[in-house]
Amino acid sequence: MAWDGTGTPVTTATYSAAGLTPANVEDRLAILWAGVADYATCSADQATRIDDAITAVGMAVETWDGTDWWWLRDTGSFPTVDGTVSYALRTVNTNDMANLWAVQRVYYDDDWALKSLVWSDYQDWYRLIRPNAAEQKPLGYTVTGEPPYLWLYPLPDTEYTLYVDYTKRHSKISAGAPTGGLIVPAEFQHGIYIDGAAWWLRHELEDAASLRDCPRFMEAINRMRAARPIRYGEDPNDLFPDAQSGTFPNDRRVKITEDGVHILNPYTAP
């Protein structure tokens, strides 16, 4: 049995199925480390140290040994606005992209991908071409800044839904109300967020590598590695990755067959 901070016992199975909330973790660490009844009765310093520990172990595991965790990849979407050129990605759709770290690609619902530009090339377009360019369906984008903004070209002439494949980062945990929540999968959360954070607090760690000495944290890491799903190649009909490198047209869907490269679903600008 475990305690969820409300006075109601909950089973480990409940935690495994539904996942922990930041408040669950804060309350449990208040008991295990601070020796108080719950997070609400911690001192201000204890509460800060608990939240910092949860954040630290979350950030540590997402980059652990350079592992390419499947749970760090996600897809969000947002609507463009007529005449609006830039969009704050973490807030333009708070349900999908609150913990976005890096954009992998941007595309429409028919899988037609927008061309990615480096910021300097986009600035050249914005200064030299944009003043005389008509609004239309966007053809490309760049991402810059922290927090990240996505800039489109040309300016959209109406509302279009854009899809964004992205990688996540762990958000700062603060008083049970983080921006992006606990992103480690539910099956492994206890070993990471409770056992790992408790170890961090008890040993007053500053270096994430020291978590290697925490048996339960490492057990969760090893279980995640063993449970990693098989990665299949991308469907060549959808967003062929070589398009971004210029091997194939970046603005067309392509299909690779024995007869060569076939362009699918050609796009015609409005």
**Least confident piece of the model among 54-63, 211-220, 251-260:** 251-260
Give per-residue pLDDT as tens, 28-50. 999 999 999 999 999 999 999 99
In the chain, which ranges are E strands?
A: 2-3, 9-10, 73-79, 86-88, 100-107, 115-116, 140-144, 149-153, 161-168, 253-257, 260-264
Place of tokens 């050129």: 85
Answer with the residue of higher pLDDT: 132 or 103. 103
Question: What average pLDDT score do residues 245-258 get?
Answer: 53
Distance between CA atoms of 101 and 81, rounded to whole angstroms?
23
Q: For position 132, what pLDDT does the model report?
A: 76
Work out the angle at residue 54's Cα, subtended by the Cα atoms of residues 224 and 191, and round it to the nearest 5 degrees: 35
Q: How many residues does the chain have?
A: 270
| SS3 of residue 74 by DSSP | strand
What average pLDDT does the structure give for the chain?
Answer: 82
Residue type, 123: Q
Question: What is this structure's pTM?
Answer: 0.75
Q: 264 pLDDT exceeds 70?
A: no
Query: What number is the average pLDDT over the span 140-165?
Result: 92
For residues 164 and 6, which has the higher predicted lDDT (pLDDT)?
164
Q: What is the C-alpha separation between 47 and 234, in angstroms, rounded?
A: 44
* pLDDT for res 228: 87
Q: In this model, does residue 15 exceed pLDDT 70? A: no
Three-state secondary structure of 8-73: CEECHHHHHHHCCCHHHHHHHHHHHHHCCCCHHHCCHHHHHHHHHHHHHHHHHHHCHHHCCCHHHE
- What per-residue confidence (pLDDT) applies to 122? 87
Q: What is the CA radius of gyration of the chain?
A: 23
Q: What would the pLDDT profile of 180-194 be if each residue is shown by its tens digit?
A: 789 999 999 999 999
Residue with tokens 């790992």: 196
